[in-house]
Amino acid sequence: MFPNTIVFIDAGHGGLNRAGEYTTAPSKMFRHARGAFHQGSNFYEGVWNRVVTNQVMRKLDRFGITYLPLHHDYLDNSLQHRVDMANWYGTKFARSLVVSTHANASVPHTARGFEIYTSPGTTESDKVASIHWNNVNLLRNFYPKGTQITMRTTPSGSQHDNEANFFILRKTNMPAILIEHLFFDNFEDATLLMDDNVVDLFAEAQVRTIIEYFNA
Ligand SMILES: [Zn+2]
């Protein structure tokens, strides 16, 4: 659909390996006091991130849009490796974009909402972030009844992904956004994240943002 363009799809952290073991640090998971998530009451952020990016890639396939996942199916690839991939392949295409998928967490597990991060300063990435928030908002009416998807306009105070933010956003040579899709350690947000409809809408918003950005 867009010749000479590539979008780098990034699912943060690692997933479940073949033995059913979570490959990422305990800070990227949360054991809820109730509910059923990935393994019993455990919510694994890296697993959820991959559910979204798989859906994004399925949709991109339908448009014949060239993409490359920066993440492994389940290993927790280093941020340096992910950045190196984006920067190497990025030089082979006229235009490229990084979209990194995460979900947030913070103590004491009461924070909720949606955040989009870009590298500091005014860059092309800010334009992508604006397009994306608009697309998330456009789909608001299609979320399950009663769903609140709020944009957090101030930093959450969470240290959860700050390191990832700065690295994947600052070290890549192309526009890049990192999306924190709600808070997986908050029961209400985590319940929303397990809703296939919500996941599909988050994926749909990413695909619309990619198309809109490359179309501009
Ligand atoms: Zn994360």
Per-residue model confidence as pLDDT tens digits over 10-39: 999 999 999 999 999 999 999 999 999 999
CA of 1 relative to ligand 1 center, distance in Å: 30
**Residues 6 or more apart whose Cβ sits within 8 Å of residue 19:** none
CA of 161 relative to ligand 1 center, distance in Å: 5
Residue spans of alpha helices (H) in 116-161: 124-138
Could you tell me the domains of the chain? 5-13+23-180+200-215 (3.40.630.40)
Q: Please report the pLDDT score of residue 163 as a whole number.
A: 45
CA of 163 relative to ligand 1 center, distance in Å: 10
CA–CA separation, 158 vs 140, rounded Å? 25
CA of 44 relative to ligand 1 center, distance in Å: 10
In one letter, which amino acid is 31?
R
- In terms of residues, how long is the chain? 216
Q: Please report the pLDDT score of residue 165 as a whole number.
A: 58
Residue 89 pLDDT grade (very low, low, confident, very high; cuts 50, 70, 90): very high
In one letter, which amino acid is 64?
G
CA of 168 relative to ligand 1 center, distance in Å: 12
Q: Please report the pLDDT score of residue 122 as a whole number.
A: 80
CA of 128 relative to ligand 1 center, distance in Å: 20
What is the average per-residue pLDDT within 94-119? 93
61 token code pair: 């396939």
CA–CA separation, 75 vs 32, rounded Å? 24
**pLDDT > 70: percent of the chain:** 94
Which stretch of DSSP H or E encloses residue 205? helix 196-215
What's the mean per-residue pLDDT of the chain? 92
> What is the arrangement of strands in the sheet containing 95-104, beginning at the earlier edge strand?
67-69, 5-11, 95-104, 176-183, 115-117
Q: What is the pLDDT of residues 140-183, one digit of tens each?
A: 889 988 888 887 654 444 433 444 558 999 999 999 999 999 99
CA of 14 relative to ligand 1 center, distance in Å: 10
CA of 3 relative to ligand 1 center, distance in Å: 31
CA of 60 relative to ligand 1 center, distance in Å: 23
CA of 91 relative to ligand 1 center, distance in Å: 27
Handedness of CA 38, 118, 201, 114 (dihedral sign): positive
CA–CA separation, 21 vs 133, rounded Å? 34
